[in-house]
Amino acid sequence: MERYQIILAYDGADFVGSQRQASSRTVQGELEKALRRLGWDKRTVYLAGRTDSGTHASGQVAAFDLDWQHSLDDLRNALNANLPADMAVREVKIAAAKFRPRFDATSRRYRYRLFCQGVRDPLRERYA
């Protein structure tokens, strides 16, 4: 059993946030569903931080333990095949056994995008 670190990207428009909630669609909940399809039977996925409802991410770090007998690329591909279209695993690494993204992070970066135009742009409406 290894601990894996992944880099997640997601369009948060249709999520109520990243942290698991019993009756709402969350990033953690969708990731756990995808992992269960790969044989994951653990209780916890560790996230680097929480995002609010509607917040997007291009580099959210998560970690989990999994008994996986294939390559890291195969794990990334298997996760992406089981995740919804508004989520993607960009990278997979083997992590230290006690790695916890929230506590082991050395920095965090946030980017806020504001579009201040006279007429709204429907193609950017969900992203600004």
- Cα angle for residues 59, 78, 64 (degrees, 5° grid): 55
Mean pLDDT of the chain: 91
- Which tens digits make up the pLDDT trace of 4-63? 999 999 999 999 988 888 899 999 999 999 999 999 987 789 999 888 888 889 999 999
List residues with catalytic annotation. Answer: 52
pTM of the model: 0.88
CATH number at residue 65: 3.30.70.580
* 31 in Cβ contact with 18 (< 8 Å): no
Query: Residue 81: which domain range?
Result: 2-127
The total of structural domains in the chain comes to 1
Residue 77 DSSP SS3: helix
Percent helix / strand / coil, the chain, rounded to 5 = 25, 25, 50
Q: Report the alpha-carbon distance of residue 46 to residue 18 in Å, rounded.
A: 11
Average pLDDT over residues 66-72: 96
